[in-house]
Amino acid sequence: MGELKRIIYNCHQATFLIDKRMEGKITFRERIELRIHLIQCDVCKLYIKQSEKINEMIKSLLKTPAGVEIRLDDTFKDELQVKIDTQLNKN
């Protein structure tokens, strides 16, 4: 009971479980405890929404290249080609 009481009033632990749950990895007991916490905690309910939103934003930021096409410098490519050719001729 002591432990249960702790999570019921503990936003630190609750937000930890919220982030863990987003990948579906919390135990049944943790799930129940979190649910009880959320019944009376609107701030953590808001945290869930914002945390999910942040995941979406990160995904879209990382997966969208910076607008312009990123290409490797041509001089660097030429030099690289020379290095590869040299290496190939050695063998």
Tokens, residue 91: 């063998």
Residue 30 in contact with other proteins, rule: CB under 8 A: no
Question: Alpha carbon of 61 to those of 15, 43, 47, 64, 77: distances in Å?
Answer: 24, 26, 20, 5, 28
Residue (28 or 87) nearer to other proteins, CB:
87
Residue 38 in contact with other proteins, rule: CB under 8 A: no
> Is the C-alpha dihedral spanning 19, 23, 24, 25 positive or negative?
negative
Q: How many residues bind other proteins (CB under 8 A)?
A: 44
Residue 68 in contact with other proteins, rule: CB under 8 A: no
Shortest Å distance, C-beta 32 to other proteins: 18
Per CB under 8 A, the list member of 1, 35, 49, 68 interacting with other proteins is 49
Shortest Å distance, C-beta 46 to other proteins: 5
The angle that helices 2-9 and 28-40 make with each other, rounded to 10 degrees, is: 50
